[in-house]
Amino acid sequence: MARQEQKIRTKAYIHVGDHLVDVDTLNPVQRDYVAQRLNYILYSEIFRGKATFEEPELPPRDEVFADF
């Protein structure tokens, strides 16, 4: 008997102040901010002690997420 395929659905949320916000609802500037911060943090942790990365120059977090 064939195994039935099961669809996996995922959602990503971030904390913005006191709110939990779905990443799908962010505007392009906010999504870019989140992506650059995550990449910086990820690569810094993966290559800790082997390489260093400069933190990206981003606008202040309060300005990017002023909507919330």
Q: Would you give per-residue pLDDT tens digits along the chain (68 residues)?
A: 778 899 999 999 999 989 899 999 999 999 999 999 999 999 999 999 999 999 999 999 999 999 88
CA atoms within 13 A on the CB side of 38: 10
Maximum Cα–Cα distance across the chain? 56
What is the per-residue burial (b if ≥16 Cβ within 10 Å, else e) of 13-47?
A: eeebeeeebeeeebeeebeebbeeeeeeeeeeeee
